[in-house]
Amino acid sequence: MATHALSVRKWVNTDRYPVDDLANPARDELVAMCREQLDASAICCLPDFIRPDGLAQMIKEMRALEPVALKNNLLRTAYSWMDNSGFPPDHPRSAVFLRRFSYLVTDQIPEDSLSRALFFWDPLTDFVRDALGFKTLYRSECPTVSIQANYMNEGDVLPWHFDTNDGVVSLLLDEADEGGHYQMAPYVRDEDNEHYDRVTRAFNEDPDVIVEPRMPPGTFILFKGRRSVHRVSPVGRTTKPRMIMLYSYDEKPGMVFPQKSQDRMRYPDSTPYYGHGTPADATGFKLWSVEKATGSQRD
């Protein structure tokens, strides 16, 4: 790994993004720009972060592994960390969405792959820490979820959801021919006010609420998703999958995801997921039906 990691720098576009040069004022400017964009819109996209030759290698590596990818195909709430029982059927907390795509867990990704080497490149970890505004940041040591590769083919979708933390880090490797667009409604909820009217408008695909950031293949992405609902839209006809790498970090060293979370990743099934703590016999959940008329809001 160490020898391979030495070659990471030549594949990162350090001319445009000097993430490894702590003495370079341009790095300070880059960090400041990332923080400003995150504060304003919850997302920072750095296109052409990976040079074309490095990106081609990553795509080749990950495409070769797709046949062994695990399959995710279930109905799931957007509020995965909450008990969502007791809400009316037309409420956002009662909504479930189809979640369907394929993925690799950490120990399926080869030790000598460039996608893995990038994650273990210390200058990247330091840059992510500074850009997200943390005092300390460490790579996750989870054998299942520290690194994840997602594949989306025709008919696949990553539905509307909130993240359980702020600071999601990803690298888009390739895009589908049709569909598979990243869409988000930045900062639609607050910690003390869920603003269900705004969330409903996002679920209903209201163009006044949703933004679609530009992110061509090779874009490095920092995102604050705890208060920003987001999705990857359904993939249409395509000759190649949408592929993205997800990298996990934590403010404390040695972070490993809970065993239940790891088991759900390693042994996926089609059982609907209504949220953490939601009673098994809870009722009232239904597949969300989009109301295209904008301004249609529920309390």
Tens digits of residue pLDDT in 95-144: 999 999 999 999 999 999 999 999 999 999 999 999 999 999 999 999 99
216 pLDDT more than 50? yes
CATH code, 133: 2.60.120.620
- Residue 169: enclosing H or E segment and its boundaries? strand 166-174
**CB-based contacts of 25: which residues, under 8 Å, 6+ apart?**
none
Of 289, 279, 252, the closest CA to residue 89 belongs to 289
Domain membership flag for residue 91: yes
User: Quick one: pLDDT at residue 280?
Assistant: 84
Domain extent, residue 131, equals 2-278
Q: Are strands 138-139 and 249-250 parallel, antiparallel or unpaired?
A: antiparallel
Domain membership flag for residue 263: yes
pLDDT band at 3, cuts 50/70/90?
A: very low
Structural domain count of the chain: 1
User: Quick one: pLDDT at residue 165?
Assistant: 85
Domain membership flag for residue 189: yes
Domain membership flag for residue 291: no
pLDDT digits (tens, 9 = 90+) for 68-86: 999 999 999 999 999 999 9
294 pLDDT more than 70? no
63 pLDDT more than 60? yes
Mean pLDDT computed over every residue of the chain: 94
Domain membership flag for residue 294: no
Of the chain, the end-to-end C-alpha distance in Å amounts to 53
Give mean pLDDT, residues 231-240.
Answer: 98
Q: Is 72 helix (H, G, I), strand (E, B) or coil?
A: strand
Share of the chain above pLDDT 70, in %: 95
Q: Are strands 138-139 and 229-232 parallel, antiparallel or unpaired?
A: unpaired
Half-sphere exposure of 266 (CA within 13 A, CB side): 14
**Sign of dihedral through CA atoms 247, 108, 255, 84?**
positive
User: Quick one: pLDDT at residue 6?
Assistant: 57
Task: Please report where in the chains the tokens 């969300």 appear, as a residue.
Answer: 288
User: Quick one: pLDDT at residue 190?
Assistant: 93
Of 174, 286, 183, 168, the closest CA to residue 239 belongs to 174
26 pLDDT more than 50? yes
Task: Please report where in the chains the tokens 């940041």 appear, as a residue.
Answer: 137
Q: How far apart are CA 208 and CA 53, in angstroms?
A: 38
218: left (phi over 0), alpha (psi -120 to 50) or beta: left
Please say whether the beta carbons of 229 and 162 come within 8 A: yes
pLDDT band at 46, cuts 50/70/90?
A: very high
